[in-house]
A and B are shown apart, each in its own frame.
Chain A
Amino acid sequence: MNPVVMKLAQRQLWAQLRTVEWRALLLATWLAITLTTFLSLLSDRLEQGLLRESASVLGADLVLRSSRPLDEQRILDAQQAGLETTQVIQFPTMVGAGENLVLSSARIVTAPYPLRGEIVTEPTQGTAVPPPGETWVEPRILEQLQIDVGDQIQFGYVDLTVTARMLTSPDRGSGFRSLSPHVLVNKADLEQSGVLAPGSRAQFRLLMAGDADLITAFEAELQPKLEQYERVLSLTSDQPVTGNALGNGMSYLRLSALTALLLSALTIMLALRRFSNGQQGRSALLMSMGLQPREVVRLYLCQLLIAALVIGAAGTLSGVIFERIADYWISDLLPQALPSANWWSYLSGAALGFAMLILLGLPPTLEQARVPVAQLLRGEDIGTQTSSGRSLYALSLALLGATILLFLQAPLAAFLLLLALGICGILFGWVAQQLLHWIAKPLAKQMTLGRLLKIRLSQQRRWHRLQSAVVVLLLTLLSVVWVSRQDLLQEWQSQFPDDVPNYFVINIQDWQKPGLDEFLEQRQIETDLYPMIRGRLTELNDAPIRPQLNEEQLKDGALRRELNLTWRDTMPEHNQLLSGQWWDADSSEPQISIERDMLEDLGLKLGDKLGFDVGGQPVSGTITSIREVQWESFRPNFYVIFSRQALENYPGTWITSFKLAEDERTAATDMLREFPSLTLIDIDQLLEQLAGWLQRLADSSAMVLGLTLACGLILIAVTLLQALEQRRFEAALLQTLGSTSKQTQRLDLLEFALLGAVCGALAAASAEVVLAALHYNLLRVDVRLHPELWFSLPPLAVMLFVGIGFALRTPLRIEQCYHILRSKT
């Protein structure tokens, strides 16, 4: 490259750093890079840590996962294929120490374990897995039980000594299972503990390792033989687990950057437009001195490149810092430290920023080369954009749009969100402008300033539309997050009546039931025990059900997993009979009462006969009633209830829930001491954990929102800047024609204040709509108005516009006016 061009580019950039448009441009790019780096790092690490079944977390080369005890044949097959194997059982269980209880995820293991990766403990241990009588637990267990290494925990009927703190370990399982703190227990202690009985909810895993060829061959051999309750995970199928709420949440994390990216792109575009218009004289001058048009293009590209590199480095650094802060916030909610991010996640923000600067910078840069030298020297205006210039702009914007959608990794959702933002933006802009005119009309009749205001409003209408769209959207977003953070969870919790159960007990064996009944009766704990028998829906009216259903119905969850079935003589009090009739307790006819949604989803009706496979045995019954179930009642709920005779003799466990007041909570500890193998789930503890997550989520989103807000403010500043010369000229003319500088200042103040008030009111209205929708649809609680929004948003928006407007506005002295008018000849 011509060294003169390079030198000129550096000097130019240095000089232009002092202009507002370059500062805005760099600031917007920096914010965009910071935010995208932050979000890609965070989502990458969360995804790797919680969702991805990769080599580092799988603990093996190949894993067979089953919801039933492993088939011996599978293990033999694997061993015959030359693979090393080990078995793991994982299930939720309460562990206790003294008065404290915590819901944990137990992993029952035998050496060798794991087959790949390693368990890091503190202090370091000499064995692969805890020896019998000992356990290794994750730090949160120790914290919540308020014990230390060397103390004992109660694990079912056995007491285990905690010999190490487990810092990281592979094979943690996926999804919500991986969120509870883990305890690692030797298989030799399992039977004596009595925590795992037939029918208990557990996941059984066969870990396998070996040569890549053997693994591939065995996986291919295994795949077609899999039962519905089995699944194979391997390194080649290194896919995030989809379909669960956690996975969905993660994939939308990056979407939160969309608004900020949009605002930054707009800022960069406007700043570059203003910059490029201001540079045309300079370009013409350089070309008149002999610089080739392509050298002019190089000059400006070079300047953009230098800026992109510097700001890319700065943005990546601040993104990393933000990510560390977020990591610190959420670390105590996560069971173990998150793995480090992939190297490309560090670069993605800078790459996106680079793409934004170059793609948005290319059209105005190429325009510089087309500036007609002679025309400019004659002092004439540059012609408006040519059609080829416009199509170049369109192409650049399309490319940038595609890049952003790709980055967000959920292109369809991002596109829909973009569309929604666009439509809302246009609508808000239009409504705001109509409101401004409606307000200005009576003002114009009454005062001079009002008439000038009317002129100003029509002059600035394009900018007002953009400014109000941005401000209304941002303030709406801000209010919704702010209000939800404060009271959504609170309102949700407060809607439950006082007697809603706060404990669930599962895995109650038949032989424990009489003792437990007595225990509950003694303490006057009101409850109702339900038998729970697992079965798979197989037949409808004595024929296989699958061929009788359409494609949509076949996707129903009830067909893909085992259902929890129960039997009863009377209908549960918290259910409601919709149609049909409940059976007589002594009826010998096998009958079924079905939940309404399941009935509708599968297209069933009263009188249909359903057949189930319960542990290999067929059980069937006729639908004689339809129920409505309140899932949020925190009581055992069932899709399918059989009459007693149909199901009584099948093996299963019992489930119940009950309410313990704050001062009765010791009953829970007593129960676990007396019946150590029961799984007691403390709902309050779960809700607290959920509240903790929501709180941190809100904190993290506040961080994203803060950066988005900053992008919005810069955009407002740039849009005000665009019209600044026009405003100065107008003020000069008005002052020359007889206005005072106070009057023009008041005019600006009036304009900004009105714009702010209108935007604030619109934002309050739209926030109310969004919050009402959230309350009504998501939380199903009563919609209420938020007067605090109506009081706070308009003044906030007024302050915002007046603040930025007056920061950019330099007061015009009367003696400057004539010079301004003369300079515009």
Chain B
Amino acid sequence: MNAPATVLETQNLAKSFRSAGREFELFKSLNLSVKSGETLAIVGKSGAGKSTLLSLLAGLDVPTSGSISLDGQRLDTLDDATRAKLRSEQIAFIFQSFHLLPELDAQANVALPLEIRNEPNAMQKAADWLIRVGLGERLDHTPSQLSGGEQQRVAIARAFAGEPKVLFADEPTGNLDEETGNQIVDQLFAFNEQQGTTLILITHDPELAARCQRRILLVNGTLEER
């Protein structure tokens, strides 16, 4: 059996920004390599730059220097349109506050990224995925008619329906109670395994981090593998 290929790789990644006339350096030489199907937790204190790192890895931000490659393709040199296309085809997100569009029902919310990339049968796929996350009866419910846990399950369905290579989850249980949070995490990991998706997770929760194959601590602008 071949060793899994590297799906995401950074070399000498640096990010700094100007504020109040001063240059702040968030990190200056990060090297990270993530293999296909791997689960990885990025942990660190508030303000360490976890979210910025995630933005960079997901192609939502450009580094000051260094490179990022997704599936062998350089992200940092692409133009906006190509990055957007890449994002829509290979990357998905799960957010702490779910971020569903309030005026759309569950099915339309799940179909949204598929429609953005012009995929046929978007609504059918959305329905299939909602059945898989256990919301088959709630297709036409709007977010306000769903509980927090249910909303996050819609978000999970939305993330997996696009069959992404990499799934970024940013504090996915931050707004949920412990029991619901655990159910969500179980479901997330289960689907991840079934689909062979690469999962990159940002969390404060050591228990959640412990469920990942790799844990990386971002501290003082450097990465420490735990």
Contacts and interface: CB of A to CB of B under 8 A. Distances in A.
Contacts of B116: 448, 452, 734, 737-739
Contact of B170 (A730, A741, A822, A824): A822
B72 interface: no
Interface stretch (B19-27, B32-40, B76-84, B130-138): B76-84
Given A737-B87, A738-B89, A817 B60 contact: yes
B124 interface: no
Contact of A736 (B87, B101, B115): B87
Contacts of B190: none
Interface in B80-117: 80-81, 83-85, 87-89, 91, 93, 95-97, 99, 101, 103-104, 108, 112-113, 115-117
A735 interface: yes
A455 interface: yes
A76 interface: no
Contact of B62 (A451, A458, A735, A815): A815
Contact of A815 (B60, B85, B115): B60
A451 B114 CA distance: 11
B25 to A, nearest CB: 17
Interface in A735-768: 735-743
B97 A825 contact: yes
Interface in B13-66: 51, 54-55, 58, 60-62
Contacts of A825: 95-97, 174-175
Contacts of B93: 736-737
A808 interface: no
Contact of B99 (A458, A459, A733, A814): A733
A738 B84 contact: yes
Nearest to A739: B116
Interface string A448-473: 10011001001100000000000000
Nearest to A447: B118
A413 interface: no
Contacts of B81: 740, 742
Nearest to B170: A822
B80 A455 contact: no
Contacts of A735: 84
B93 to A, nearest CB: 6
B89 A736 contact: no
A455 B101 contact: yes
A407 to B, nearest CB: 40
Q: Which of A459, A734, A738, A814 has the most CB of B within 10 A?
A: A738
A351 B83 CA distance: 58
A814 B101 contact: no
A735 B112 CA distance: 12
Interface in A766-825: 814-815, 817-819, 821-822, 824-825
B199 to A, nearest CB: 17
B80 A736 contact: no
Contact of A738 (B51, B113, B170): B113
Contacts of B84: 735, 738-740, 743, 814
A821 B98 CA distance: 10
A821 B85 CA distance: 20
Contacts of B80: 740-742, 814
A743 B88 CA distance: 13
Contacts of B61: 814-815, 818
A811 to B, nearest CB: 11
Contacts of A738: 84-85, 87-89, 91, 113, 116-117
A739 B87 CA distance: 8
B118 A448 contact: yes
Contacts of A824: 97, 99
A73 B160 CA distance: 106
Contacts of A458: 103
B97 A733 contact: no
A360 to B, nearest CB: 28
Nearest to B54: A818
Contacts of A818: 51, 54-55, 58, 60-61
A461 to B, nearest CB: 9
Interface string A705-736: 00000000000000000000000001001111
Nearest to A450: B115
Q: Which of B96, B101, B116 has the most CB of A within 10 A?
A: B116
Interface string B116-151: 111000000000000000000000000000000000
B101 A459 contact: yes
A733 B85 contact: no
Q: Which of B55, B108, B174 has the most CB of A within 10 A?
A: B55
A814 B78 CA distance: 13
A138 to B, nearest CB: 68
A822 B80 CA distance: 21
B112 A736 contact: no
Q: Which of B103, B108, B170 has the most CB of A within 10 A?
A: B103
Nearest to A458: B103
Contacts of B97: 821, 824-825
Nearest to B174: A825
Given A455-B103, A459-B101, A814-B61, A737 B51 contact: no
Contacts of B54: 818
A815 B53 CA distance: 12
A506 B108 CA distance: 82
Nearest to B88: A738
Contact of A455 (B60, B62, B96, B104): B104
B24 to A, nearest CB: 15
A24 B88 CA distance: 39
A451 B116 CA distance: 8
B103 A737 contact: no
A459 B118 CA distance: 21
B112 A814 contact: no
B160 to A, nearest CB: 14
Contact of A821 (B62, B99, B104): B99
A737 B88 contact: yes
Contacts of A743: 84
Q: Which of B58, B60, B113 has the most CB of A within 10 A?
A: B60
Given A737-B87, A737-B88, A740-B80, A821 B103 contact: no
Contacts of A742: 80-81
Nearest to B100: A733
A622 B213 CA distance: 116
B54 to A, nearest CB: 7
Contacts of B58: 736, 818
A471 B117 CA distance: 35
Nearest to A734: B116
A298 B194 CA distance: 61
Contacts of B175: 825
A452 B115 CA distance: 9
B167 to A, nearest CB: 13
A814 B51 contact: no
Contact of A733 (B51, B101, B118): B101
A588 B99 CA distance: 99
Nearest to B102: A459
6 contacts: A814-B61, A814-B80, A815-B55, A815-B61, A821-B95, A822-B51
Given A455-B101, A737-B88, A738-B91, 8 more contacts: A448-B116, A455-B108, A736-B58, A738-B113, A814-B80, A818-B58, A818-B60, A821-B99
Interface of A: 448, 451-452, 455, 458-459, 730, 733-743, 814-815, 817-819, 821-822, 824-825
9 nearest interchain CB pairs?
A738-B88, A815-B61, A740-B84, A737-B113, A818-B55, A825-B97, A738-B87, A459-B103, A818-B60
